[in-house]
Structure 1
């Protein structure tokens, strides 16, 4: 879906590709009834191994001080994954907070549960990539950065999740680092990164370059959309870092790209506030995209 443009904020708000591929509508027109909360199913956990007899003390050999770690221990270490967050499957929060009313100006979607705003977005370690239905993999091609992620709708029910202090989560992304973000169904969100965090406008809105996502949109048949956007930074004449968002699987090779300084391809760059349909439009189903932060070409 497309993120709404709100003139009361005195700045352009980024746009997210409407995933339908046709008959695009603005967010403030999307007030259709919303279905129940949807999460990826928890995978079946293997049964615990059968207990083995404990050998008598005489049967236990004394290890050599120089003995190498058993291969099983090495495999367990590598299987833990990289990045912050849990290393074993952790469900999203249960239930939705109250849906948007006709008085609100945008489709609310999934912003977490009552009392747990933002729990629809969860950093997890990389070994869990395949265990969630919707994931975004962040790779840092530049200097150490800190990333802020938000829901389009803030905790107060307004379209202000992308203002400093209203974000749902923060994670560090060191140079050369990787972080997996698991996203729950029917979420409309964005993230921006930068040294010490994304640059801010003079009214506290996140600038830099955004990756925007609309995953498993229940008002649109479960389609998803992703894009790169520098609309806010361009409108405020701030630094525009490079960012590349690419599909995987059936969508490998399809990207939304912004180069340092603002040139873009299939992306929302300065002056494109009125456009729609750019970025990646992805059919319902398990989805993962790769995001390159500090992209330089």
Structure 2
């Protein structure tokens, strides 16, 4: 199983000069005065909070093998935050449960703690339960790539090799190799390749309006990936350098 091209290659974006971010690179932490009750707001000063993140790791590779920031300690580039703090961070996803059941969400880096491209093989950096109608917020550090798998109940189904085999959301936040651009999409590839259930999910750019969605059993696919599009680039959302606010609906029904 490989990530779709829109996430890992961002093929439609203009690739700039490759540069390695220094370990420990940090922006100024936003002050309490910048806090907003609106999670889509951003600090007027342009200084985003890094509270809770570990150090940044150096990037390497190009194209599909590109490895960005996985956090030091591993996984500390992905943290759960409160709704009141969400506006202070640069890259934020709001997760909302849509229907009647509790769901499990597992968020992972593209690269695992072993330095291999296997982060979705049981190496979630953050796992949480989302009750029906509940909303939770997650912040991502600069140059983070990966995805989240979601499934009804308390576990994520896996394929014969142990990889998460449910509907995924895929992300690339502030890609160093693409001049700070970000990207996202919904993907049913892992579930379909494992002959597992395709559940519904929608991701929308709350600042720009672009959405990617799949309804249950992939009955309706909008700007998203099924196994037939594995090698197609450009599907999903592509966002120019700057803050990102993704509204994620788990158990999306279309």
Give TM-score scaled by structure 1 length. Answer: 0.73
Q: Distance in 2 between matches of 1:245 and 1:279?
A: 9
Question: Secondary structure of the residue that 1:219 maps to in structure 2?
Answer: helix
- Distance change (3 Å), C-alpha of 1:247 and 1:38: farther
- Give the Cα separation in 2 of the matches to 1:90 and 1:98: 17
Q: Give distance in 2, aligned partners of 1:212 and 1:176.
A: 22
Q: Equivalents in 2 of 1:34, 1:265: separation in Å? A: 35
Within the candidate set 69, 79, 87, 1:110 is matched to: 69
Does residue 1:96 correspond to 2:52, yes or no? no
Q: Does 1:274 align with 2:231?
A: yes
Q: Could you say if the C-alpha distance between residues 191 and 44 of structure 1 is closer, same or farther in structure 2, counting changes exceeding 3 Å?
A: same
Partner-residue secondary structure (3-state), 1:290? strand
1:11-38 deviations in Å (ceiling 9; x for gaps):
45445435463468xxxxx994322355
Once residues 58 and 242 of structure 2 are traced to their aligned partners in structure 1, the CA distance between those partners, rounded to angstroms, is 26
What residue in structure 2 maps to residue 222 of structure 1? 180
Shift of 1:45: 3.6
Answer yes or no: is 1:257 the counterpart of 2:221: no
Deviations 1:204-235 (A, max 9, x none): 10011111110000111000001000101111
1:177 to 130, 134, 137: 134
Distance 1:232 1:240 in 2: 9
Answer yes or no: is 1:283 the counterpart of 2:240: yes
Q: Report the equivalent of 2:42.
A: none
Contact 1:40 1:133 in 2 (8 A): no
Q: What is the aligned partner in structure 1 of residue 206 from structure 2?
A: 248
**Matches of 1:39 and 1:189, distance apart in 2:** 20
- Partners of 1:163 and 1:199 lie apart in 2 by 11
| Aligned residue among 200, 208, 214 for 2:166 | 208
The total of aligned residue pairs comes to: 236
How far apart are the structure 1 equivalents of 2:17 and 2:127?
A: 29
Structure 1 equivalent of residue 21 of structure 2 = 35
5+ residue gaps, structure 2: 40-48
The corresponding residue for 2:113 is 155
- d(CA) in 1 for partners of 2:3, 2:241: 26
